[in-house]
Amino acid sequence: MKPFFKTFAVLLTASLISATAVSAAELTDKEIENIVRRSYQYVAMYNVNNKFALKQGGWNTVVADTKLKDHTMRDIARPNNDTLYIACMLDLRKDPVILDIPAFDSKYVSLMVTGYDHYVNVPMSVTTGDFKKPEKVLFYTARTKGYDGSPVKGVDRTFEMTGDFVSAIFRVMPHANEKALFKKIIGQMQSVKLITLSEFQGKPVKAIDDVTFPNVGKSDFDVYENNFLEVMQFVVNCTTFDSKNEVDTAFLAALKPLGVEPGKTFDRNKAVGIDGKRFRSIAEKVQKSEFALAMDPAVNAEHGLSLFKTKGKITQKLLLMQSVIGPIGLPATEAVYPPVATKDGQPMNEQHDYVIRMTKDQLPPAKAFWSMTLYDSANGFFIPNDRKKYSVGENGGMKLNADGSIDVYVAAEKPKSVPDENWLPINRKDENLDVILRIYMPDLEKFKTWNAPKAEKIK
């Protein structure tokens, strides 16, 4: 049995700890690690969804990009630099929310939705023939007041979510090198509208300002240290759980000894006391070990096609992996995210320069397009640089050689004769780096035998 699975076998056993109240001081490191592993998806998505909502002015809001993300993006680890986002933040507690969506002229568009549980649904995509005509899509949960899932005249589709607070994220290929088409696509993106069912039916808007959210953290570790129980009580109260789903039941069983159960109200004065620094320390260790696994090409090859799935279609260990790599990714039918390892097996570091070469036959098997993006390992953020160059690809910029091959340089200074488009700048300091490929609409048959390129140290 591989170490990756041994770890989870042990932790699965540990999840069966007594569901009676205990003193948090009595928890062993193994029990805390089990709690961390089973809660990580919720902590990560609570931080992501709420940061997005705070940034764009609250819930039931829509913000469409007009340019690719840059290094000031700090709301999510490993964002992309190859598509534009439309971020729609939905509060489904009091009213269903309808997204009024136009047709798009882009060769790749998808709509991904997820709540705090980090199960990923893609209700619309060009891969399934969508976005050829305007549509209205209604979202609700089992707790949405005054709505039972019945069809609504004028609405094309309804979709039940498992969480009350939802990020609905469009990814749109902007065709950045075609000015007229780019401008047209921006206009289409800006025409996406959000309206509640009450508004749609000509009734008064229901207020949604009656909720107090626990503080988000600058990092997921801040939540574990500062307000973990408060956040957990909040998320379990606005999430649909399935008593027959092992991931759900084990998660709730792990939290019950800490006094967190669906339907309860968090009371700071009566809450079980936990050692936040101890929880943080263990969460940091879990994140570090799982990220190292996720960046292992062998592990990625084995599990990369099984990430970002719907509820019941993904295991706990993969929920953890995808939450550590970077939340709100797409399933393999839409995109795959193979990492670029080094030829010498050592982590990439800004103290050195690298080249990543691909022949024409070695280019990623993408039916839509592909990109290669550079991040710092510690946070998953773009490397700041004056050129605002973070990726190589059709939208971030790239230049193929005459024979259809490509050489991408990760370097502090641009090597002579290297096209600007193929140079990813770094800062000369002791900081580890990661390069991740994105392959949109992958040819999954070809992907089975395709090997990701490796970075070669040149300085």
Q: Is the pLDDT of residue 4 over 70?
A: no
Which pLDDT tens digit goes with each residue over 22-39?
455 589 999 999 999 999
pLDDT on residue 21 = 44
Last residue of a domain, one of 200, 225, 257: 200
Which pLDDT tens digit goes with each residue over 329-358?
999 999 999 999 999 999 999 999 999 999
Q: Is the pLDDT of residue 186 over 90?
A: yes
pLDDT on residue 328 = 86
Last residue of a domain, one of 200, 231, 258: 200
> Rounded to whole angstroms, how far apart are CA atoms 176 and 189?
14
Does any domain span residue 31?
Answer: no
Number of domains in the chain: 2
Last residue of a domain, one of 200, 227, 247: 200
Does any domain span residue 154?
Answer: yes
Q: Which pLDDT band, with edges at 50, 70 and 90, does 1 fall under?
A: very low
The arithmetic mean of pLDDT across residues 236-251, rounded, is 97
The arithmetic mean of pLDDT across residues 374-394, rounded, is 94
Q: What percent of the chain has pLDDT over 70?
A: 95
Does any domain span residue 413?
Answer: yes
Does any domain span residue 222?
Answer: no
Residue 125: CATH number of its domain: 2.60.40
Q: Which pLDDT band, with edges at 50, 70 and 90, does 107 fall under?
A: very high
Does any domain span residue 217?
Answer: no
Does any domain span residue 383?
Answer: yes
Does any domain span residue 344?
Answer: yes
Residue 414: CATH number of its domain: 2.60.120.600
Which range of residues forms the domain containing residue 180? Answer: 57-200
Does any domain span residue 111?
Answer: yes
Q: Is the pLDDT of residue 238 over 50?
A: yes
Closest C-alpha to 163, from 213, 216, 113, 205: 113
Q: Are 51 and 20 in contact (CB under 8 A)?
A: no
